[in-house]
Amino acid sequence: GAGVSQSPRYKVTKRGQDVALRCDPISGHVSLYWYRQALGQGPEFLTYFNYEAQQDKSGLPNDRFSAERPEGSISTLTIQRTEQRDSAMYRCASSLGGGNEKLFFGSGTQLSVL
C-alpha cells in the first residue's frame, strides 16, 4: 500500500474485554514496530519485529499485551482483559530494513477502555 495502514481507527471497549489492533506495513518493509502514545507525550516503544521474528518485546507493559507477525507482513497487537489505563493511541511503524532507517508511522488506533 501507499502507507502504513492501521485498523480500526477508533476502538471503544469495556473493561475486561480483549482487543486486537491490526497493522498493515508498507509493502516490502522488513521491520515493524508498535508504539503507544498517551496524550501530551511522545510515542513509547512497545515491541519490534524483523520479518516474522519478534526481536524485542521489552516495552510491552505486562503479559496482557502480546503481538505477532506470523507471515512477516501484517501484525496484530492484542490486549487481553483491558483496563482503563490501557487507553491511548497505539501506533504502528515500519521501515525498509533492520538498520537505522527512516520510520513511517500509521495513523494509529485510538483505544478507549470504559
Partner 1 sequence: RKEVEQDPGPFNVPEGATVAFNCTYSNSASQSFFWYRQDCRKEPKLLMSVYSSGNEDGRFTAQLNRASQYISLLIRDSKLSDSATYLCVVNRPGGYNKLIFGAGTRLAVHP
Using DSSP, state whether 31 is helix, strand or coil. strand
Residue type at position 90: Y
CB 81, min distance to partner 1, A: 27
Q: 98, 30 in Cβ contact below 8 A?
A: yes
Q: Which is nearer to partner 1, 10 or 81 (CB)?
A: 10
Nearer to partner 1, 50 or 80 (CB): 50
* Phi, psi for 96 (deg, rounded to 5): -65, -45
- The cell for 45 is 516503544
- Phi first, then psi, for residue 46 (nearest 5°) are -110, -60
Smallest separation, CB 96 to partner 1 (Å): 11
Q: Provide the grid cell at 3.
A: 502507507
- Which one of 1, 70, 71, 102 is in contact with partner 1 (CB under 8 A)? 102
Q: Among 69, 45, 44, which residue's Cα sits nearest to residue 57?
A: 45
Binding map of partner 1 across residues 34-73, x = CB under 8 A, - = no contact: -x----xxxxxx--x-x----xx-----------------
Smallest distance from partner 1 to CB 19, Å: 20
**Contact residues for partner 1, defined by CB under 8 A:** 31, 33, 35, 40-45, 48, 50, 55-56, 91, 95, 98-103, 105-108
